Chains A and B, each alone.
Chain A
Amino acid sequence: DGGITQSPKYLFRKEGQNVTLSCEQNLNHDAMYWYRQDPGQGLRLIYYSQIVNDFQKGDIAEGYSVSREKKESFPLTVTSAQKNPTAFYLCASSIDGVGQGSPLHFGNGTRLTVT
């Protein structure tokens, strides 16, 4: 089945360590996105990429980095510069970007806990 795979589901790290969250899609979608969700809150956009080798900052990009070397992969690195990294991280993709009326399809998220 086609879909978006985020791994691992739960991730634990010590403060000061960088950590990379994986996101893979086999939907052949051009656009991919990373969102962060805190308890009781909506989703906030971290980074997005409309094509390979290109990406843009979202609303809360500080302390995060991404790469888009392959169409199917969009890993997110949470760096030690991120002040409050503990959160639920969601990856999504769309066929050609929401500007074209294409909906987002989400993975099931990675819950990161930093202590």
Chain B
Amino acid sequence: DAKTTQPPSMDCAEGRAANLPCNHSTISGNEYVYWYRQIHSQGPQYIIHGLKNNETNEMASLIITEDRKSSTLILPHATLRDTAVYYCIVRVYNTDKLIFGTGTRLQVFP
């Protein structure tokens, strides 16, 4: 099954860029990489997704390596409100299922 690997936790100073890595070495050629975040006791919030090219929106940037085996989510200027668990997810091949791992707990400190 498609699977992602993320560090369990990271720290980032407020105002600095937060770079969250994700390994998805088993990804299939036509599968998207999705990023979500979850603040305690709320539903996950969609951040961004991409296939091959780098993507940017108002929340973040997504950098996908050329071989597509890994990606990095970049929050350019982290704030205290960005403290959350961040999930990197890929689809299980040929299904409509996204598999969530345990994610990275990002702590932004003043």
Interface residues of A (CB under 8 A from B): 4, 6, 31, 35, 40-45, 48, 50, 56, 58-59, 88, 90, 92, 97-99, 101, 103-109, 111
Task: Please report whether the interface of chain B is mostly helix, strand, loop or mixed according to DSSP.
Answer: loop
Interface residues on B, range: 20 to 34
Query: With contacts A31-B96, A43-B44 known, what are 15 further pairs, Cβ within 8 A?
Result: A4-B43, A41-B102, A42-B102, A42-B103, A43-B87, A43-B100, A59-B97, A88-B41, A98-B32, A101-B51, A103-B49, A106-B46, A109-B42, A109-B43, A111-B41
Of the A-B pairs whose beta carbons lie under 8 Å apart in the complex, a sample of 14, sorted by A's number, is A35-B100, A42-B101, A43-B44, A43-B87, A44-B100, A48-B96, A90-B44, A92-B43, A97-B96, A99-B91, A104-B36, A106-B44, A108-B42, A108-B43
> How many CB-defined contacts (below 8 Å) exist between A and B?
62
A98: B residues at CB distance < 8 A: 32, 34, 91, 96-98
Complex contact B46–A99 (CB within 8 A): no
Q: Closest B residue to A44 by CB, please name it.
A: B100
| A99 and B95 contact, Cβ closer than 8 Å, known pairs A40-B102, A42-B100, A42-B103 | yes
Produce 1/0 per residue, B82-94, CB < 8 A to A: 0000010001001
Q: Report the minimal beta-carbon distance from A9 to chain B, rounded to whole angstroms.
A: 9
Whose C-beta in chain A lies nearest to the C-beta of B34? A103
Q: Which residues of A contact B98 (CB under 8 A)?
A: 45, 98, 104
Cα–Cα, bound, A4→B98 (Å)? 18
Contacts of A108 in B (CB 8 A): 42-43
Measured CB to CB, the closest approach of chain A to B9, in angstroms, equals 12
